[in-house]
Amino acid sequence: MNDFQYLTVRPDSEQRIWVDIQMRDGAPGTLEPDTLSELKQYLTSIQQQPVAGLVLRFAIRKATNSTVKPADYSVFQNTEYTLSLIQQTQEIADLLQSSPVYSVFIIDRQCPIGGMALALATDYCISSFSLVAESCFPENALGLHPFPSVIRQTIKRVGAFDALMTITASQTGVSLPADILFDKGFIDEAVPANKLHETTLATLQKKPGKKKALRIKLPFANKLLRSYTSSRLSQQLIKRLHITEAHHPAPYALLELWKQHGSQANTPSQIAFAESLTKLAGTEYSGNLQRIAQLKYKLSQHPDEPQRLKHLHIIGSGETTCKIASYCLLQGIHVSIQDKRPAALEQAISVIGDKMVTLTGKDTEKLSELLSHVTPDLKGENIKTADMILLIGATHLADQQERFAELEEYSRPDAILATHSSIIPLQKIAAAMLEPERLLGIHFCYPACSTPLVEVSHTDKTDKQLLDRACNILKHLNKIPLLLNNLPALLADRILVQYILQGIHLHQQGVPHNIIDAAARNAGMPSGPLELGDIMGLDYCLRVAETMEKSFNTDVPFQLVKMVQTGKLGKKSGSGFYRYRNNNRLKSARLEWDGSIEALQSKLTTQITEEAALCLEDGLLEDPGLIDIGVVLGTGFAPWTGGPLRYHRGY
């Protein structure tokens, strides 16, 4: 029986105890003083009990009445409150570390603020493959920095430089893949979400030792060494990731705190961290990030009864297919890939295998298990058993119409039929179907693995329950669905291609390609427009641009047309605005330009903000807030702005 208010405690027959730590819902969630107090009391009470193992995880405290509200981040503007949370978190982390009870922490959702300190204080930390660095250090998404106990635990595991580099680099808007956390040792083991329980049981049986950093990576006691390391880290943030102090003060504040206090857990250090967090929480920059976090929460709320996708069938075997298939395999989903060309299927399976190797390393058993769930399909035999069928790569309307007319005949009646195309009108595809209500658009934004947003488009005839089920499935996959009216190019492609076209127009006017891209990155975009065009494929950009030209009178630059005609398609052809060899970009000559960088940045960002305003006017979405969060999540537009409409028009 559970007699706790903030914990759910479940002992089992083997004297193992499973504890869910309730956090207030939000994006990210928060732990409250009462929750931490109850957790401390419980952990103290079991120290001398015959416990075979303790398993902890975070859980959402759902509202049972109107008194429970989503996370309120304004509380961090109160220094006394923040200091209390810092001290409570440190006490529990110390208690877990000194406990004779073997403990395991499961991370299968975004950690709450300060939560990583508890996870890393246990003996063994297991996560799902869908975890990303931003999930572990959610404070960054709010313009804050982690608690000192988080810094202390991460340094103990991986050393000062790797710990601080990863934490400061995982600022919101900068995508760090999950394998960084596993490679560096933050997390002990990663498995598909459906294997978390099984892996936890095996861990409790074996009780592997706690991971510690090598002696040469231990915390720096010498302030001069800390000062030197902080300086190096600051340089890396600016040069490699374009994280400037003007736009992202939190990582620089964290480095200054570490330089002054190191990894100490004493009261002066805790007070300094609390005062720093209070100061950051009251800034306009943090307020904009909190707005983005709440908008994200609005879109990503999980339904009470999640729909699970068991079998995804993908028609097409290109790069996008490989990325979506890889992501779904890591969620424990069976994926079948259909292509009538044996060589193309073989290549796709090879690419997926390479992706799995980077995550599983030398664990051949885990690799084999993952790859056993992907099936090549030359004749479409898996169509009849799939829960969802996604058509990727068919670029002509007639091909899409023919495919979906066949799919509705041979698929299960309850299967979701979806096109990945953002440029072929759903209404025209549905016109060739007997059951047009079964069709919708599911467009994984580029790049499919790391970008959280998935655009879901529909027609007036699309079945409402089918639409809800598709969104439910995507949320269960840790993706964020955004419902859109079916206008050409949808949202992310429309914004990104306009951004790329603006970059090409500037290049036609004589501005060097590297200057344009550097200006865009320094303005807060994750990639410059020309390097992004190369990566997405200039032929794809041209197809989207031509669609937009017909619908929105978009000006397609002649240089883009000429490059595609001459086979300069970007990275995949070895040449675009940059040159490539063995899939790596070659270093180009440094070109100088004596024009105004500020004017360049203004033209690039204004192109995005004005196009976002046009999307609102055209009726793609009716809510300005959803346009803002869609552009931020789907394109990487700087979250510290609060979104393009807020930045440009003050919505």
User: Are residues 103 and 247 located together in one domain of the fold?
Assistant: yes
Residues β-bridged to residue 127: 107, 190
**Residue 67: what pLDDT?**
43
pLDDT in tens, 537-550: 999 999 999 999 99
For 61-87, what is the mean pLDDT?
77
- pLDDT band for 173, please (50, 70, 90 cuts): low
- pLDDT band for 124, please (50, 70, 90 cuts): very high
Contacts of 487 (CB under 8 A, 6+ apart): 494, 551, 615, 618, 619, 620
Q: Model's pTM, two decimal places?
A: 0.91
User: Are residues 251 and 331 located together in one domain of the fold?
Assistant: no
Boundary residue ending a domain (265, 282, 299): 282
Please state which of the ranges 55-64, 94-103, 471-480, 586-595 shows the lowest mean pLDDT. 55-64
For 441-457, what is the mean pLDDT?
91
**Residue 177: what pLDDT?**
59
- From the list 235, 96, 93, the residue with the least C-alpha distance to 151 is 93
- pLDDT band for 68, please (50, 70, 90 cuts): very low
- Angstrom CA distances, 468 to 63, 408, 648, stand at 21, 19, 33
Show the beta-strand stretches assigned E in 486-568.
none
Please state which of the ranges 178-192, 515-529, 575-589 shows the lowest mean pLDDT. 178-192
**Residue 507: what pLDDT?**
97
Please report whether residue 12 resides in a domain.
yes
**Residue 309: what pLDDT?**
93
Q: Which two tokens stand for residue 350?
A: 């090879």
Q: Are 157 and 185 in contact (CB under 8 A)?
A: yes
Residues β-bridged to residue 335: 312, 374
Please report whether residue 342 resides in a domain.
yes
Please report whether residue 2 resides in a domain.
no
Q: How many residues are there in the chain?
A: 651
Please report whether residue 303 resides in a domain.
no
User: Are residues 384 and 444 located together in one domain of the fold?
Assistant: yes
User: Are residues 460 and 498 located together in one domain of the fold?
Assistant: no
For 429-444, what is the mean pLDDT?
95
585-593 own/partner pairs: CB under 8 Å, 24+ apart: 585/531, 588/513, 588/514, 590/514, 591/512, 591/513, 591/514, 591/515, 592/512, 593/511, 593/512, 593/515
Element (H, E) at 295: helix 284-300
**Residue 315: what pLDDT?**
97
Q: Are 591 and 515 in contact (CB under 8 A)?
A: yes
- pLDDT band for 213, please (50, 70, 90 cuts): low
User: Are residues 430 and 347 located together in one domain of the fold?
Assistant: yes
Does the pLDDT of residue 201 top 70, yes or no? Answer: yes
Please state which of the ranges 215-219, 297-301, 375-379, 572-576 shows the lowest mean pLDDT. 215-219
**Is residue 334 helix, strand or coil?**
strand
Please report whether residue 1 resides in a domain.
no
Q: Looking at residue 558, which CATH number applies to its domain?
A: 1.10.1040.50
Q: How many domains does the chain have?
A: 3
Element (H, E) at 427: helix 426-430
User: Are residues 472 and 498 located together in one domain of the fold?
Assistant: no
- From the list 576, 607, 578, the residue with the least C-alpha distance to 591 is 578
Name the CA dihedral angle for 197, 352, 362, 366, rounded to a multiple of 10 degrees. 30
For 334-355, what is the mean pLDDT?
95
Domain that holds residue 174: 7-45+53-60+75-282
Place of tokens 């051949």: 364
Percent of the chain clearing pLDDT 90 (strictly above): 68
Please report whether residue 290 resides in a domain.
no
Residues β-bridged to residue 54: 17, 103
Angle 179-451-315 from CA coordinates, rounded to 5°: 95
User: Are residues 470 and 508 located together in one domain of the fold?
Assistant: no
**Is residue 594 helix, strand or coil?**
coil
Contacts of 395 (CB under 8 A, 6+ apart): 421, 424, 543
Boundary residue ending a domain (455, 485, 515): 485
**Residue 185: what pLDDT?**
83
For 407-427, what is the mean pLDDT?
95
Q: Looking at residue 41, which CATH number applies to its domain?
A: 3.90.226.10
User: Are residues 513 and 480 located together in one domain of the fold?
Assistant: no
Please report whether residue 69 resides in a domain.
no
For 193-222, what is the mean pLDDT?
79
For 500-517, what is the mean pLDDT?
96
- pLDDT band for 175, please (50, 70, 90 cuts): low
Does the pLDDT of residue 216 top 70, yes or no? Answer: no
Q: How far apart are CA 245 and CA 263, in angstroms?
A: 23
Does the pLDDT of residue 65 top 50, yes or no? Answer: no
User: Are residues 167 and 247 located together in one domain of the fold?
Assistant: yes
Boundary residue ending a domain (449, 469, 485): 485
- pLDDT band for 254, please (50, 70, 90 cuts): very high
User: Are residues 397 and 481 located together in one domain of the fold?
Assistant: yes
Q: Looking at residue 367, which CATH number applies to its domain?
A: 3.40.50.720
User: Are residues 338 and 463 located together in one domain of the fold?
Assistant: yes
- pLDDT band for 62, please (50, 70, 90 cuts): low
For 397-416, what is the mean pLDDT?
95
Residues β-bridged to residue 439: 417
Residues β-bridged to residue 10: 18
**Residue 66: what pLDDT?**
42
The mean of the pLDDT values for the chain is 90
The span from the first CA to the last CA of the chain, in angstroms, equals 49
Q: How far apart are CA 146 and CA 645, in angstroms?
A: 29
For 275-296, what is the mean pLDDT?
92
Q: How far apart are CA 521 and CA 516, in angstroms?
A: 9
Please report whether residue 66 resides in a domain.
no
User: Are residues 543 and 513 located together in one domain of the fold?
Assistant: yes
Element (H, E) at 19: strand 16-24
